[in-house]
C-alpha cells in the first residue's frame, strides 16, 4: 500500500519530519519504493522537499495511535491506520511526542 499524501513521517536515520507530498518517478539509482520506480517526496518545510524511499520512513501516530494525515477527520485517519498497519511492520509506526 502507498503511504497517502499528507501523512506525517519521520526519516528513520536522519530524524527529520515532514509530510508525504506525492511520488516522483526515478529513472536511475538505488533505493526505490517496492514498485521499483518511485520515491516519496517529503515536504520538510520552508519549500524544501526530500526524495526518500519507503524503507527509510517511519509513520507518525497521534496520542490516540492514529496515523497523522493533514487535516483529515478521525474516521478517515482510523481507516488509513488500519490499512497501513496491515501493510507495514509495527516498528514503522512511532508516536509523535
Write out pLDDT tens, residues 14-30. Answer: 999 999 999 999 867 77
Q: Quick count: other Cβ atoms within 10 Å of Cβ 82? A: 11
Q: Report how far residue 88's alpha carbon sits from residue 17's, in angstroms, rounded to the nearest whole number.
A: 19
Report how many domains make up the chain.
1
Does any domain span residue 18? yes
Domain housing 21: 8-95
User: 12: pLDDT confidence band, cut at 50, 70 and 90?
Assistant: very high
Check residue 59 and give its pLDDT: 98
Residue 30 lies in a domain: yes
Provide the pLDDT for residue 76: 97
Residue 2 lies in a domain: no
Residue 66 counted as domain residue: yes
Q: Do the domain assignments include residue 69?
A: yes
Confidence check: pLDDT of 38 > 80 = yes
| Residue 31 pLDDT grade (very low, low, confident, very high; cuts 50, 70, 90) | confident
- Per-residue pLDDT tens over the stretch 45-90: 999 999 999 999 999 999 999 999 999 999 999 999 999 999 999 9
**Residue 33 falls within a domain, yes or no?**
yes
Query: Does residue 1 form part of some domain?
Result: no
Q: What is the pLDDT of residue 78?
A: 97
Q: Which of 37, 85, 91, 89 is nearest to 7 (CA)?
A: 85
DSSP 8-state code for residue 65? S
Amino acid at each position: 500500500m502507498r503511504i497517502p499524501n499528507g501523512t506525517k513521517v519521520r526519516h528513520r536515520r536522519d530524524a527529520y519530519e515532514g509530510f508525504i507530498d506525492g511520488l516522483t518517478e526515478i529513472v536511475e539509482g538505488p533505493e526505490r519504493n517496492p514498485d521499483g520506480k518511485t520515491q516519496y517526496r517529503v515536504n520538510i518545510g520552508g519549500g524544501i522537499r526530500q526524495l526518500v524511499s519507503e524503507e527509510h520512513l517511519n509513520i507518525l501516530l497521534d496520542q490516540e495511535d492514529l496515523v497523522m494525515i493533514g487535516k483529515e477527520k478521525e474516521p478517515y485517519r482510523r481507516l488509513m491506520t488500519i490499512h497501513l498497519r496491515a501493510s507495514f511492520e509495527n516498528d514503522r509506526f512511532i508516536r509523535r511526542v
